[in-house]
Amino acid sequence: MQPKMITLTVNGRKHQVALNPDETLLNALRQLNYTDVKNGCEKGDCGACAVLLNGKAVNSCLVLAWQADGSEILTNAGLGTMDNPHPIQEAFADAGAAQCGYCTPGMIISAKALLDQNPHPSEEEIREAISGNLCRCTGYAQIITAIQIAAERIAASALVGSGQGGKQ
């Protein structure tokens, strides 16, 4: 077993790291201090470690870091910050969708993947999209509300942005 230099672009930042083949993307990201990617089960059951890998939401515990060599990775922390949160993050805060907050980063990643594909999802579509993200605190209700609020806000700001609404 020999380490190999691989390149991971995480939240827009390029990292070159020497990793052993048995390192999962989850562990690699956490070692690079992306600790918003949470370890909940390491078997793909809980979704706490979800990231966007080249735009697709995946369990980072089920990806070997080498398999992600050269990939673009987006974690929840890459979406926004305390000063400039992403509309989904803002909606999660407003709707009470984060209780303990441990499932939240993965949950928001699944929400982001959904809204990227389907900007106006139904409740059923939201339930399906987050069905791989376990939450033990909220019972999912406020998470679903948050994703609905986020969808509305993103649509509204797109209208403003395209000049079809708001002030010119």
Please report whether residue 119 would count as binding another protein according to CB under 8 A: no
Ranges within 34-63 binding another protein (CB under 8 A): 35-36, 38-48, 50, 53, 56-59, 61-63
Please report whether residue 135 would count as binding another protein according to CB under 8 A: yes
Helix residue ranges per DSSP H, the chain: 25-31, 87-95, 104-117, 123-129, 141-161
Residue with tokens 């827009």: 12
Sheet strands side by side (includes 4-10)? 13-19, 4-10, 71-74, 50-53, 56-59
Residues 112, 140, 149, 151: which binds another protein (CB under 8 A)? 140
What's the count of helices (H) and strands (E) in the chain, helices before strands?
Answer: 5, 5
Residues 32, 137, 154, 155: which binds another protein (CB under 8 A)? 137
Contact 16, 7 (CB under 8 A): yes
Q: What is the DSSP letter of 125?
A: H
Q: Which is nearer to another protein, 9 or 127 (CB)?
A: 127
Please report whether residue 138 would count as binding another protein according to CB under 8 A: yes
Q: Which is nearer to another protein, 115 or 144 (CB)?
A: 144
25: left (phi over 0), alpha (psi -120 to 50) or beta: alpha
Please report whether residue 116 would count as binding another protein according to CB under 8 A: no
Ranges within 74-93 binding another protein (CB under 8 A): 75-77, 79-82, 85-86, 89-90, 92-93
Q: Which is nearer to another protein, 7 or 128 (CB)?
A: 128
Please report whether residue 32 would count as binding another protein according to CB under 8 A: no
Please report whether residue 29 would count as binding another protein according to CB under 8 A: no
